[in-house]
Amino acid sequence: MYKTILQHPIYDFLYKEAALLFLVLDPEGNVIEANNYAKDIVGSDLLSAKPPFKKILLGFSTDLPPLAELIRGGSVPRMLSLATSRGKTQTYYFQFYEKEDRIYAFGQINHLEMETLTENLVEANNEINNLSRELHKTNAHLTKLNDQKNHFLGMAAHDLRNPLCVILQLSDFLYTQAESLLDAKQLKMLASIRNASKFMSQLINNFLDVSIIESGKLELELVSTDFVPFVERTVLVNQLLAEKKKIKLTFQGEKNLPQIMIDNYKIEQILNNLISNAIKYSFPESTVQISVQKSGDYILVTVQDEGQGIPAAELPKLFQAFQTTSVKGTAGEKSTGLGLLISKKIVSGHRGKIWVESKPGKGSTFSFTLPC
Amino acid sequence: MITEEIYNRYLANLLSGNKKECSKIVTDLLDRKVLIHNLYMHLFQKSMYEIGKLWENNRISVATEHMATSITEGLLNLVYPVIFSAEHLDKRIIISCVASEYHQLGGKMVADIFELNGWDAYFLGANTPSKELLKMIDEKKPDLLGLSMSLCSALLSLEETIKTVQSSISKLPIILGGQGFAGIGKELTDKYSNTIYFDSLDKLEKWLRDF
């Protein structure tokens, strides 16, 4: 067919080998001849006579221009998209020529467009890679700063603990031994020294705990424990604190629970923190209920109070460092803002979870789980 | 540790665009505590030089070369946790590709080697105009400037950059590197004072330790 127009071996070569879509159409738009490149791009069914040429073109609407209009456009390049045999869409610039009863369509890629696209992609890729490098660098710097902070915190807390112990011991001694020698005003001053020192001691111990945890050095000494008696003992230890504020502590433990592997000292730390918080934020003549029960593959511990509750907006930050709520201790007790963070880290170390539910004016329930 | 078998397997996967396999090979080497220097020299640099030659001899297309470069740059991310954890010496270098130089991988690897040796290396990326480079030099006050050129077609830009920098800051030593300097490196360092050319990462690292 093509030999009617291509009468030279060079044209023959170009027709067969050029990276150019060369199609020969009949007046109805059926593809009756195609070069190798066209067959490679569109697929071997290109010459199956039907469908007409315009059906292998793609567009966002079905109203593609009629073939006659395409032909009238002549050598003015017309942008048309094809579905390729690889399932992709490729845009070609087509030119049409009519001769005798045949229509010759030539389609080629806009190479300048492809080059620009490639350049832009390479540039975008470089930018992403460079940003990634900067991100890693900044991340490493922040990690170093965090390590330095933890190290400093640990050192400072450690060095402050000893002198503080001395202050506490001596003020305790004076308070008990010199009671009869001091007047009421002096005793009150001594009480203030003791209370402030106790608070500082608690804060320093919390700093040390946070420093250890944040440095990734939290080590758990897991021991098989009969959990209900363990919790019951901790509740008893807090009875005196509760009685001072005329608050009732109750405990309910499910029978026949399996022994669980826990770090006794650290879980006791969590229980003391949650129970003392419940007492702190509760009013006299109210009840704090502690319960232990099995929940699926976990042991569930809850500490429920009838205290002031916590506003919903403040709940998300509760387990973060140095976060205190707008709610204050009912007897003016202070908070270090670290107890819940430490509790959370210890529970996570045991592969458990800790959470809170609270309603202002009704009270709060702190719960945590430990795997069986 | 980087045997010929590992290298050949890596190169084959790199050429076929198999990023997943390349990543697996690099991760495996890192898990076995390969020296970063060896990874850079005997895997990344060696494979990219070979790919450059294949492209130059029309054995692979520019698309394949771009893909291999892109994969290699992505693999550097795996190494960054090690590179950026080195102790710092309070020395700074700015490394840049000159204007119209789009091959940035080599310059980036040099920046990483400096980081590994305790320097703070600021990498400005491909195609950096002289004006931007001067602004960064003024801001960061580096001890060294590094200029990368992969194709000698960027030579005019390179020389213009050297002249611009040296007319503002004559005392700032400039190190030069990249495949584009092959055959002309010594000539350039003779032409411009206070410039040093390194034809390999090895030689650069040895010099760096004594700087």
pLDDT over threshold 80, residue A217? no
| Residue-averaged pLDDT of chain A | 84
Among A126, A136, A139, whose Cβ lies nearest the Cβ of B125? A126
| Listed range (A310-324, B10-24, B136-150) with the worst mean pLDDT | A310-324
Under the banding of pLDDT at 50, 70 and 90, the label for residue A1 is: very low
Decide: residue A124, CB within 10 A, 0-12 exposed, 13-18 middle, 19+ buried.
exposed
Cα distances (angstroms) measured from residue B181 to each of A370, B53, B107, B176:
64, 15, 13, 8
Q: Does A120 touch chain B (CB under 8 A)?
A: no
B12: how many CB neighbours lie within 10 A of its CB? 12
Alpha helices in A245-371 (DSSP H): 264-280, 339-349
The CATH fold of domain B92-208? Rossmann fold (3.40.50)
Is pLDDT larger for residue B12 or for residue B179? B12
Distance from CA of A86 to the nearest CA of B (A): 18
User: Does residue B177 contact residue B207 with C-beta atoms inside 8 Å?
Assistant: no
Cis link prior to B142 (omega < 30° from 0)? Answer: no
Q: Measured between beta carbons, which residues in chain A are less than 8 angstroms from residue B87? A: none
- Burial string for A333-360 (b: 16+ CB within 10 Å, else e) reads eebbbbbbbbbbbbbeebebebebebee
**Predicted local distance difference test score (pLDDT) of residue A290:** 97
Higher-pLDDT residue of A106 and A70 is A106
CA distances from B39 to A36, A84, A347, B3 (A): 45, 41, 41, 11
B102 touches chain A (CB under 8 A): yes
CB contact under 8 A, B70 and A123: no
The minimal CB distance from A129 to the residues B73, B85, B102 is found for B73
Closest by alpha carbon to B15, among B56, B77, B53, B60? B60
Q: Are A100 and A25 in contact (CB under 8 A)?
A: no
- How confident is the model over B20-32, as a mean pLDDT? 96
Residues of chain B with CATH 1.10.1240.10: 4-83
Q: How many other β-carbons are positioned within 10 Å of the β-carbon of residue A177?
A: 9
CA distance B45 to A26: 56
Task: Find out whether A341 and A210 touch, Cβ atoms under 8 Å.
Answer: yes
The number of beta carbons lying within 10 Å of the beta carbon of residue A146 is: 12
Look at B125 and A130 and tell me if their CB atoms are within 8 Å.
yes
- Of the candidates A267, A242, A232, the one whose C-alpha atom is nearest the C-alpha of residue A330 is A242
| pLDDT (mean) for A356-372 | 94
Stated as kind and residue range, the H or E segment containing B55 is helix B46-56
How many residue contacts between A and B have a Cβ separation below 8 Å? 49
d(CA B211, CA B206): 9
Residue ranges, comma separated, of all CATH 3.40.50.280 domains in chain B are 92-208
**Nearest-CA distance from A342 to chain B in Å?**
28
Q: Model-level pTM?
A: 0.63
Between CA B58 and CA B65, with CA B62 as vertex, the angle to 5 degrees is 100
pLDDT tens digits along A178-202: 778 888 888 888 888 888 888 888 8
A133, A134, A144, A145: best to mutate for the B interface, most B CBs within 10 A: A133
Sign of CA dihedral A346, A349, A352, A356: positive
The architecture of the domain spanning B4-83 is Orthogonal Bundle (1.10)
Q: Where are the alpha helices (DSSP H) in chain A?
A: 9-17, 36-42, 67-73, 111-177, 184-214, 227-237, 239-244, 264-280, 339-349
- According to DSSP, the β-strands at A287-295 and B195-197 are unpaired
pLDDT at A63 over 60: no
Closest CA to A225 of A122, A350, A110: A350
Q: How is A94-118 classified by DSSP, letter by letter?
A: EEEEEETTEEEEEEE--HHHHHHHH
More confident site: A89 or B30: B30
Residues linked to residue A148 through DSSP beta bridges, in sequence order: none
B94 or A322: which leads in pLDDT: B94
CB contact under 8 A, B80 and A141: no
Range scoring the smallest mean pLDDT among A24-28, A355-359, B113-117: A24-28
Structure tokens, B137: 């030099």
Nearest to A241 by CA among A331, A338, A309: A331
CA distance B151 to chain A (A): 16
